[in-house]
Chain A
Amino acid sequence: MIMKYKAVIGLEMHCELKSDSKVFSRSRNGYSKLANSNVCPFDLGFPGAMPSLNKRSVKEAVMMSMVLNCKLPEYMLFDRKHYFYPDLPSGIQLTQNTLPVGVDGAIEIECEGKRKTVYIHDIHLEDDAAAMDHFEDTSVIDFNRSAAPLLELVTQPCLYSAEEAVAFLEHMRSAYKYCGTSEADTAKGQIRCDVNVSIMDEDATEFGTRVEIKNVNSFSNVYDAIKYEVRRQSELKAAGRYDEVVQETRRYDEVSGTTQRMRSKEDAVDYKYFPEPNIPRYRLTPEWVESIRREIPRLALERKDMYTGTYGLSDYDASILVREKEISDYFEKCINLGVDPKEACNWITVNIIAYMNKNELTIDEIFLRPEHLAFITENVKKGTISSKQAKDVFFKVLEEKKEPSAFINKENAQISDAGELEGIIDGILAANPGEVEKYRAGKDKLFEFFVGQVMRQTRGKANPVVTKDLLHKKLDQ
């Protein structure tokens, strides 16, 4: 494996935004099995149809721009981008070339345990093309996706490995989901990436020839495509054939695990960008921008740092907790209700997530709420129930969907009262004088025998801590 060159990667990440209607038309935005069931004249480029900008899409774009610490423009301005293709019926894609909703941003990510700043060239709001299906001799076009909102972010060429590229994509996916601006589900095709790859000598100052790999639709494909392309370019360069690496557009072929040429620079399309006259400028008032900023939740990395730092959780556990905002919110709610962070972490990562997975429920769908968990752990602390009993109650609450207080009562309450336990202990010691003598003579293992006896007599309800305490007091005189 040739590793003597530095790989330089830039990413263009397209993410479908969540909203009820599309960005430039009022038809429904969302998946439908039925082709052409979420459409209106604008989506199909019918003559006379005009764009109508969706406030929510603008809000989501502004929010993500701020998440990336970009500079916001004074107003929203859209450009026409022209090209002929069957999936673009009007021949015009509306995008932001002149004045993107965010420029010159930077965001800190974590890659293989290390922190790295990724620089953002720009982020802009645009609309999506239709979807085509291909058969043996024909293709068909479904316009449900046509004019749906897309946010495209373009990084600077500041990623230096496939690992960094994927780490960045994971980070952004999490950010989109935390902000609620996109479902960001690659399986649903909601994220598409174009990957720009070049290589250069370690000590070189100029970038090498850049190759674009278009439309990579999963993070693992991004990883594989980068690995392959870097190797392809490196092998050619090492063999003195670097001139065979040309500036071109390629596509990643999943089947062969290789990249294949699509078109060269000479076939480059002239997009004729110019501002869309039918969408007047929309001023982004400081008040609105501020209100959007206040809605930005704390994101995964920031929360993880707090969990490992302030709460002392392991990186591994913290990562699990922040994987989804709902889980993280649940965890934080427990803390706010007084649950010990390590305990809450344990309950969630060991028991709750397993239960969720088994029953295919989200954390917001399970019956057990943070309040219930707090109630249970509070009772363990008070000594009303043992930790073993707590686990029983926990599962009963989940399964039977009843409040935990239904399962914590005098009947099965733990016996923590010292007076009561003392009486029981006195009785057991009196009934087993031989064992008492043997223990006092040095047979320490017999301690467990006495504990066992107490448990048997109380049918497991004796508080083990108090029991052991009292036993030691009485036996170790």
Chain B
Amino acid sequence: MYKYIFTWLLFSFSSSLLVAQGVIIEGKLTSPDSISLSGVNVIIHPQKNTESIIAYGFSDENGNFRISVNHNDDSISVSIKSMQSADTVLYLRNLSQKLDIPLGAKDHLLNEARVSARPIYRKGDTTVYSVQAFALKQDFSIGDVIKKMPGFDVDDNGRISYQGQNIQKYYIEGLDLLGSGYTIANNNLPHASVSSVEILHDHQPIKAIDGIISSSNTSLNIKLKHNVAVTGRAQAGAGFSPLLWDINLTPMLFSKSQQAIGSWQSNNVGNNIGAQHRINAIISGSIDGATTMKSDFVAIPNISLPPVAQNKYLDNEANLTTYNHLVKLSPATELKINGSYYHDNIDEESYMSTSYFTQDSVISICEHQKNLLHRNSLITNLGLTQNTESRYLFNKVSFGRFWDADNAQISNGAKQNIKAILPHTTIANTFDMLIPIKSVFLRVESVVDYNDYSQSLVFTPGVFITNNDLEQQVSNQNFITTNKLSFSFPIKSFQFGSSLGVDYEKQKNKTSVLVEGIPNAVDSLSNSLEWQKTDMYIREDIEYRRNDFIFKVGLPLQYSKIDIIDKIHGASNNMNCWFFKPSAFIQYKPTGSLTGSLAANYSKILENINNLLVGNIIVNHRLTRSNQARVSFSKSAYLLAGITYQNPANGFFADIKWTTSNSKKELMLNQISQGNGLFIYKYERKDGTTKVNNLSSEVSLYMNSLKTTIGAKGEFTRNDMEYLSAGQSETMKRQMFAITPKALFSFSKHFSLSYSYRLAKTKTYIANSYSTFFNQKHKFDIYLYIANNHLIGIESELYYTRKTGLSTSQTLFSNISYSFKPSNSRINLKLECRNLLNTSRIAQIHQSDITLLYTEYYLRPRQFLLTAMWSLGIRKK
């Protein structure tokens, strides 16, 4: 087997017989040109059995080796091997001896070897996993199989990571219908419909910059076995009392050229599905939906929501229907259509006690308020994507129509009804193009957005000017377009980013008051304001990076031209102005444990021009508001300094942060009491400053022996704000101190226990008096993991709120849940009891400049809910 065998037979000159024990074989190994050889294996075998190993050693940097041999035979064999020298075998007497051995030069012939037929193979930048090789009998969805594939991980939300990194895109036959909402397909698409899973390494979804900006991200592509796969998900829950339901039906269709997903969801258990409607996150990975956002100009009196999880109080009756369809028009062009219709009735109920502190008196009002929020809207989008090597192009047309209407019933002895009619129509176009020019890429973004609001508030009985029915109408039509050209390029450790933009905005506002349906022509109750604004800006971003140091600076310079026409009041104006909003950031990391950072920015901005409505607007049954006929600006400066220290090897983490900000406005709100609980808010020309200082620090220690973390967070905020009360300038000073100690025990994998506590003390100085509040919150959670498929969770929260001189209000909550997933089953079951103690209300106290508000919000009663979730679809063979 050995190519070269030097056989040396050496006899000891000494005839004295020694005991074989304690034999040392040592020596020096050198190459033919007398260079000492290190790292060479020296193995001692019995002479008769060279496959057996008695002892072994390695040569050191000087080529020396020393091996002690414990063997009884008279002779031994020594084999000397390395990758760079010829294999050498010596036969020696089993006696201590010192040898100088020159080794022949020879590259060791490596027997290249590999295991054949791997179920995973790589072709170029793609790794292909055969589904059949990994699927087991009990698996249903492709997600079940992906979990088992080497390198993959699937977390609780169904998000897939590959080699520790979240996948960027989840394609089905190269199409991206679902964007970040891919988990729905991953959990429901039967694996029997899938032939293979491909991992696309170094995947650049935008072909135009592929090869220019390399990506370290991975994407995943599902290859279908059949032409079409139909699947879906169903979830149904029922409970009491009253009758509760929670239904979600999601059918899906995937084929090689088009894909569709529909969904119908309905519940009255407090799950807010409206969020899915507003932001179309499910449609694609990009932030969609901003152009169809709605901002109301009037509203019924707001009830402040309690600081607890939404499903504890949201009393809803929601329905949402969505449909998404993607068609591949050509290999590089895709058309995406989606529509979403949302309908909801939300009940809110609360008891409120408000005290208004005016110059000379305190006015207290107690009210019981019931709101019914009626939500009804349709949003549709049509998007076209072209993704070729020479450009990336995206265009989307969006349309939204809202028929929202809210109603408030307020009783304080007398009854007051306020109805808000809140329609909104929007149509928008979004354009995005990316063109590569050598290693620089040029990006053009453009948005055109038109919005129409014709909203009104109806008061029954009337307020302020009449007891008859009164209607406040507010209409706004606006047209906004933003256009930006940007590019960036590197020079050594610097990165430069430049952008150039032109934005244009035109708005028309009209407000009027109607009594018994007849317009009240008084100027002080009407507005007709039109304005347009053109902004041109250039922005330069410079970034410098080194191993331990980052420096960034942003230098935007903006020129604005404004034309204002006020047909009723004297707010007409034409003006030009410049704005400069610089910002800087520095981070320094001298060691692996320590990071220091510093950030600063300054800005001067134009206040919303719609604030120029001089005529009064009736805001609610107690308040009218009017503004100054002057364009105003606000200036602000902000500074942050922070240090973080982390020594995880000792389990110690600490940080400290200080921020300060100072802002100055040219207009202040004058709050004038009319006596009898009615107020007029007027903007007046007067400088008002607000200063905020905040110091916070957090320390935590992990104790490995107890598997326990203890820690505390402390925070101190000081807030100085100027305000106007009946024309007098006052300063409100507020100091807030909060401390949050916490403990987390995780010494068993069968349960986890956590406890946190927060104590906040707020001291407010107004005029010459001060008041103090205390808020406390205890949170205690236990989770028991009984075997793999059973889970019990108990979550409790206890709130205290107290103001000096008032009694303490206390609220205790508890939820208990049990979930069970039978193994080898596609069904998941969950049994819950929400609000176990049937707590009916939660109290909050809030203080602002002239008001002290005490709210008791009505919660959902104790309810029981059983939910089952399963996958639709046929397991194809």
Q: Do A and B come from one complex?
A: no
Binding site for B on A (CB under 8 A): none
